[in-house]
Amino acid sequence: MNQPGLTHFAIRVSDLDETISKLRSLGGQVLDQNCVYNPDFDAHLVYATDPDGTRLELVQTPNDPTR
């Protein structure tokens, strides 16, 4: 992660559990040890990789993430 360039792609999702299930069914992997809850934003996030190995950050938050 200390190389020049893109390290991961962050995506806001409406249902993290459903997204994780779909990603796994398509051959992606979820890095369960990186599940995080941020109470300041009521946000849940997890890192994963898509079937091609691209690192993803999946974020679910019911509130405006820019607040």
Per-residue model confidence as pLDDT tens digits over 14-62: 999 999 999 999 999 999 888 899 888 888 999 999 998 889 999 998 8
Distance separating alpha carbons of residues 46 and 13, to the nearest angstrom: 11
Distance separating alpha carbons of residues 34 and 51, to the nearest angstrom: 18
Q: Count CA atoms within 13 Å of residue 67 on its CB side.
A: 9
Name the residue ranges covered by the structural domains of the chain.
9-60
pLDDT at 1 over 60: no
pLDDT at 67: 58
**pTM (2 d.p.):** 0.78
pLDDT at 34: 85
CATH 3.10.180.10, applies to 9-60:
yes
